[in-house]
Structure 1
Amino acid sequence: MLTTLCTTDDAANSGAFLSFSGDGEDEAVDLFAEAQKSVDETEAAAQQEEEDDEVEPEDDFNAAWEVLDLARAIYEKQQDESEEVKLKLAEVFITLGDVSLETEKFDQAITDYSAGLKLKTDLLPLSSRQIAEAHYKLSIVLDLTAGRLGDSITHAERALDSVEARLAELRAALSGQGLVKPPEQKEDAKGKGKGKATGPALLGDDAIVHMTKAQMEAEEKELQGLREDLALKVEELKTSPNEPADSAPALVAKALDQELNAGSTAGTVKQSEVHDLTGLVKKKKKNVDANGDATATASAATTKRKAEDNAEEAQTEKKAKLEDPTS
Structure 2
Amino acid sequence: MTLEQLLKDGARAMGETRYEDAVEIYSEACQMANLEQGKDDPDLMFLYGKALFENAVQSSDVLGGVGKGKEEEGEKGEVKGEGEGEGETAKSGGDGQFQFSSRLAEEEEEEEEEAAQKAASDSDSDEEVEAPADGDEPEQGDFEIAWEILDLTRILYEQQLAGVAPVAEPYEAHAADNPDFVARYGRLSDVYMLMGDISLETENFPQAAEDYEKANGMLERAFAACSGRRHEALFKLSLAHEFVGSDESVQRAVSCMEALLALVEQRDGAGGAAGADGASLVHEVRSRLADLRTLQQQRAAEKDQLVALLKGVTAAATAAATDAAHPGPVTDLTGLVKSRKKKSKPGRVGKR
TM-score (norm 2): 0.43
Larger Rg: 1
TM-score (norm 1): 0.46
